[in-house]
Amino acid sequence: MSGGGSNTASGNLASVTGGVNNTSSGEFSSLSGGESNNSSGFAANISGGSGNSAGGKDTIVIGGVNVTDDNDNSIAPQLPFN
């Protein structure tokens, strides 16, 4: 864990870099910046945004607001961005 405030990296080899109130609880999960995001899937990743959740295996959420993706091997949000 580096930078930011009130972040939690509790998963095995999980990481949080910056942001506020983020949680990275999945094994090998990571989270970069943003606010109130939750990366709980195996090797799931969130890059920024607010209120996002990545719960699937190898799931990636690229920013946005309140984006939830619990599917395995997926990237969210998808086009068109609404």
Give the pLDDT confidence of 25-65 residue by residue, as tens digits.
999 999 999 999 999 999 999 999 999 999 999 999 999 99
Among candidate residues 38, 30, 6, the one with its CA nearest the CA of residue 20: 6
Q: How confident is the model at residue 81 (pLDDT cuts 50, 70, 90)?
A: low
Question: Phi then psi for 33, rounded to 5 degrees?
Answer: 65, -170
Percent of the chain residues past pLDDT 70, beyond the cut: 98
In this structure, how many other beta carbons lie within 10 angstroms of the beta carbon of residue 64?
19
Separation CA 49–CA 36 (nearest Å): 9
pLDDT of 78: 85
Cα within 13 Å of Cα(25), Cβ side:
9
